[in-house]
Structure 1
Amino acid sequence: MDKYQTFYQPNPEILELVQRIEQQLSQWSVLVASLSSQQRLVLQHRALHASLALDHNSLSLVQLQELAAGKRVVALVHDIQQANNALTLYQQLASLDPYQSADLQRAHAAFMSSVVSDAGQYRLQGAGVYEGHKLVHMPPPPGNVSALVDSLCHKLQHEPIHPLLASCLMHYQLAFIHPFSDGNGRLCRLWQQLILASWQSTFAFLPFTAVLKDKARDYYKTLRQSVPKYDATAFILFMLRSIQECLSVETAQFDHGELSQVAVLPDQPLVDLAQFVQLKAQKVKNKTSGPWYKTEDQILKKLKKDNRLSAKTLADELGLSSRAIEKQLAKLKAEGKLLRTGPAKGGRWQVVA
């Protein structure tokens, strides 16, 4: 892959983790074989929910389960669309080959249908990954993306490398290449799971993305610090530790009969954003703690200090995408907590709450 070749250093802990995971997989396979189809679905929903949450989707696991059951839930229409797309795609996983770039584009098209205009197409513009105001990674130019993805898929399919390591390298390298304008994180995590499931089918029911969600800060930090060095060693270690931890936790839950069951929500009509905000104001007096509200508080705090900040600047400072910030700003304005005065460029924010 020319100068975009990724390396990892020989490390005794990597070998130890691989051996430990292989041992645990034997027990995991026996446990999964004893599950009902409904219980397996619960595990898949947990994995899907965690991956969506890492990309700032606001749906709860309960709402995702109800959506999958064909019920209507009260949530942001944009987030419901993303979740429905993901649920549809997860039903097609068996037809996807993780080493075919065309399938990667097909999966992106399904994931991002009606969400972005270029769903299924490689990005046509340059991109940058920021930490605060600091550019921490400049992905390859768009003209190189197709060749790089093809080369990556061919390399990992044909090189003699353990599937656990190949899955980590696929995740890492796709994040490095950043092939799409949006939705790259979900595809990176899904493609790692596809490689693992093609090696051991019971990986399809291991919700290791739930561990990544719980360690989101460390997950993103390790990925961003590894990319500029062209060295995936630290990221491989982080992912293998997460997989091993997930196997331990899930096996222990089985032993104690604590497998999560399908939760139930009352049937509710699908509403648009304005209706959702109105219902929230009527029914919820105290906000629940969580990443969604922490981000709201951070945005309001920053705008109190500087009411001229743009959505892009907020996104850079908070380490989020511009689309995620714009969604938060729209929600705050709809709730009456934030006002915008003046023109789009050069205007000011007024924090009401």
Structure 2
Amino acid sequence: MSYQPPFTITSKMLSLVSDIVEIITDIKHIETNLKTPKLRKKNRVKSITGTLQIEGNTFSEEKVTNVINGITVLGTMREIAEVQGAIKAYEHFDNYVYKKEKDLLLSHKLMMEKLVSSAGSYRHTNVGVGDQNGVTHVAPPALAVPELMGNLFEWLQNTKDHPLIVSCVFHYEFEFIHPFEDGNGRVGRLWQSVILNQYKKIFGFIPIESVVREHQASYYKALEASGSAGESTPFIEFMLEIILKTLKNASNESVPKNVPRNVPKNRLNEILKLIEKNKEITSIQIAERLKVSDKTIKRDMATLKEQGRLQRVGSLKSGHWEVLDDEQ
């Protein structure tokens, strides 16, 4: 592998990756809720709305939903074309192979075919990226783009780094190269989600782009900070924080709203009943029986120990649990 994007693995990154992996495990029990057609459509609308609003599109989630449903909406021709393009690009979400450069070009073609004549092709002109204060980043020359993108995909195909970090590195490097005439932000955010989706399917059901929109100013600051640093480290840390926030939001939103208020107390009693039947039972086995996460059960067992209703006898490896009262 000849090209290695510059970045530094930091303790903050490792901590965030650990937290993300933990929460992915923790929300396994609600993954079915996230995959319901209604919730998936809602989150897809959030993704499309968020990524377009970052680029200045004024359409709300309601208006994007109307476009999806074929309902006439008021808006400029360009805004409507942006929404229609994003819908087409995200409809292919599960079919993209993130390591294939031709699939990324296809996503750009679908996203931008009504907006630019060069949709699906790399730019042939030099560009600068800027804001109201002027140019903030001069992208590499157009002639260098094919080689740079080829190198980036070669790295993507061969890297052994954690997929969570890889997705962030690719996102930054892609924006740095700025390979297209227009639509780079949209495609970069989409492709990070595609990489994450092929790491864990849960990422196909959560709207990371929407959370980026909520932290848009910080998003651009992280891009600029990485540009100044000459490596993607600040951007990786920022995007890992965004991924963690998105997962936490998904966990909170996917808990059924009609759960009885006495469920936690009932669950404590159910834990004690299971332990009375099998003193060697593990927290993982209890979690599977009660259809909650291992983290939740460990928290409940800590509560039971604090209440003086449960104790551990012997070591974690060879000991067993004992119920200290018979109050059920």
Q: Which structure 2 residues correspond to residues 66-81 of structure 1 after superposition, within 5 A?
A: 66-81=66-81
CA distance in 2, matches of 1:63, 1:197: 26
Aligned to 1:253: 253
Structure 1 residue ranges without an equivalent (≥5): 259-353
Conserved? CA contact 2:4–2:155, under 8 Å? no
Conserved? CA contact 1:127–1:138, under 8 Å? yes
Q: Which structure 2 residues correspond to residues 1-353 of structure 1 after superposition, within 5 A?
A: 6-35=5-34, 36-255=36-255, 257=257
> How much does 1:32 deviate?
2.7
Q: Is the alpha carbon distance of 1:80 and 1:28 closer, same or farther for their aligned partners in structure 2, counting shifts above 3 Å?
A: farther
Q: Secondary structure at the match of 1:255?
A: coil
> How much does 1:256 deviate?
6.2
Count, aligned residues:
257
Aligned to 1:278: none
CA deviations on 1:108-128 (whole Å, 9 max, x unpaired) are 111011211111111101111
> How much does 1:131 deviate?
4.6
Conserved? CA contact 2:33–2:254, under 8 Å? no
Aligned to 1:266: none
Worse-matched range after superposition: 137-146 or 32-41: 32-41
Conserved? CA contact 1:137–1:228, under 8 Å? no
Conserved? CA contact 1:168–1:192, under 8 Å? yes
CA distance in 2, matches of 1:84, 1:203: 22
Structure 1 counterpart of 2:39, one-letter code: Q
CA deviations on 1:177-199 (whole Å, 9 max, x unpaired) are 00001000000000000000011
Q: Is the alpha carbon distance of 1:257 and 1:150 closer, same or farther for their aligned partners in structure 2, counting shifts above 3 Å?
A: farther
Q: CA RMSD in A?
A: 1.9
CA distance in 1, matches of 2:107, 2:137: 25
Structure 2 counterpart of 1:19, one-letter code: S
Q: Percent identity?
A: 30
> How much does 1:134 deviate?
4.6
CA distance in 2, matches of 1:131, 1:74: 28
Structure 1 counterpart of 2:38, one-letter code: Q
> How much does 1:12 deviate?
0.7
> How much does 1:207 deviate?
0.9
Conserved? CA contact 1:136–1:228, under 8 Å? no
Whose Rg is larger? Answer: 2
Worse-matched range after superposition: 221-230 or 101-110: 221-230
Structure 2 counterpart of 1:194, one-letter code: V
CA distance in 2, matches of 1:130, 1:70: 35
Structure 1 counterpart of 2:103, one-letter code: D
Superposition TM-score, scaled by structure 1 size: 0.69
Q: Secondary structure at the match of 2:167?
A: helix
Conserved? CA contact 2:208–2:243, under 8 Å? yes
Q: Secondary structure at the match of 2:82?
A: helix
Aligned structure 1 segments of 4 or more residues deviating by more than 4 angstroms? 131-134
Structure 2 residue ranges without an equivalent (≥5): 259-328
